[in-house]
Amino acid sequence: MGARADRVRGRRKRPAAHTRHSPAAGAASAAEPAQADSDPRPAAQVQAPTQAPDSPSAVVKETVPGATTAVQNDASPARQAMAKLREQMQRQRRPGGRVAADTRREKEDHARGATNEMGAAVVSNSTSGALVPEGQYSRPAASQPQADARIEWPVLAETIRQCTRCGLSEHARQPVPGSGSATARLMIIDQAPGAQDEISGEPLSGQAGQLLDNMLAAIGLSREATFITDVVKCRPMVSRPAEPHEIAACADYLQQQIAMVQPSCILLFGNAAQSVLGTTQSVGELREVHDLQITVQDRTIPVVVTFHPNHLMANQAAKPLAWLDLKRMRQLLRQAAV
């Protein structure tokens, strides 16, 4: 089936190490990046001082031995040299108060662990970080909303219908929250509602839905035994992938649904794979990775990626490949039932 992609499995995030200041030292050195297994942000974070620069209890003081913390209006060459050196040190800092860190170590940490736009932990064993590329994440992991499995389905569905978080809601005929069994063992995620979905109020309807029904029947399942939803709940006006800010706007809705259903396996159709896994790799590449996982609320769920029904209708040659994906998904469901 071609070269295998990097192995992917879920891990939990650990907080980054913090730099402590010793009052006796008189000055603090730049913090080295701490190792982090599950956060795409550089592990070493240096908090900007909230107190006066000359305060001994400041978190980090950018001074050099023998230099005062305030620049005096003095013509002393030594004092001017100290001030110039201090300015150079400040320019070495990155935006947001982050001290410049070792680039190689940052890339290795990023390759080992990351949290994508959906808030699900996605981990790659590859040091290349190809599965979770830099710059892919729209929000830091700490700001990801936490799903609450205690919320009732009607409340969540109504919240989605009333949502105005992004511009898609301005033109959508109606949002499509999702449909199916609230206790389904299989959860199917598409990228966005289609034209027929917007009319019916159910995801994957029309001809794509009919093909999906046939695909499920081939492995002994029915639509009623699954839960089907979309990454974004409103249909874009034109046929296009969802934008990052649109994905982020609906992220907690999808997290909430996964937490409530607690599926044994998740099937990702087409572009939904890139959105959920936070990658630019193609569907063809991702479907060859047989140990994909995501973690939501400390629960790791196996993931299978396959072609969208619309793609299968237009490309008959891809159907045998999709059949292999379905059989692998069926095997995962059987293993989870043991």
Most confident of 28-42, 119-133, 233-247: 233-247
Per the model's pLDDT, the better-predicted residue between 59 and 235 turns out to be 235
306-338 tens-digit pLDDT: 999 999 999 999 999 999 999 999 999 999 987
| 121 or 300: which leads in pLDDT | 300
> How far apart are the C-alpha atoms of 140 and 338, rounded to whole Å?
37
pLDDT bin (cut points 50, 70, 90) of residue 67 is very low
What is the bridge-based pairing of β-strands 265-269 and 114-115?
Answer: unpaired
From 50-54, 167-171, 175-179, the region with the lowest mean pLDDT: 50-54
How many Å apart are CA 235 and CA 257, to the nearest integer?
19
Can you give the pLDDT at residue 145?
Answer: 36
Q: 161 or 79: which carries more pLDDT confidence?
A: 161
Contacts of residue 315, defined as CB under 8 A and 6 or more positions apart, other chains included, come to 307
pLDDT bucket at 152, cuts 50 / 70 / 90: confident
Whether the model clears a pTM of 0.85, i.e. scores above it, the answer is no
Q: What is the mean pLDDT of the chain?
A: 70
pLDDT for the residue 289: 95
Please tell me which of 141-145, 150-154, 284-288 the model is most confident about, judged by mean pLDDT: 284-288
Q: How many percent of the chain have pLDDT more than 70?
A: 55
Domain boundaries of the chain, sorted by first residue = 114-337
Per-residue pLDDT of 72-97, as tens digits, reads: 444 455 556 555 555 554 444 444 33
CA-to-CA separations, 58 to 26, 99, 310, in angstroms, rounded: 10, 16, 59
Percent of the chain, pLDDT > 90?
51
Over residues 145-166, the mean pLDDT reads 77
Select the highest-mean-pLDDT range: 44-53, 116-125, 305-314: 305-314
Instruction: Give me the CATH code for the 114-337 domain, please.
Output: 3.40.470.10
pLDDT of amino acid 120:
46
pLDDT class for 240, splitting at 50, 70, 90? confident
Chain-centre distance of CA 214, in angstroms? Answer: 31
pLDDT at 130 over 50: no
Task: Dig out the tokens for 21 from the structure.
Answer: 């200041």
pLDDT at 83: 59
Q: CA distances (Å), 279 to each of 5, 112, 114, 219, 243, in order?
A: 12, 14, 11, 29, 14
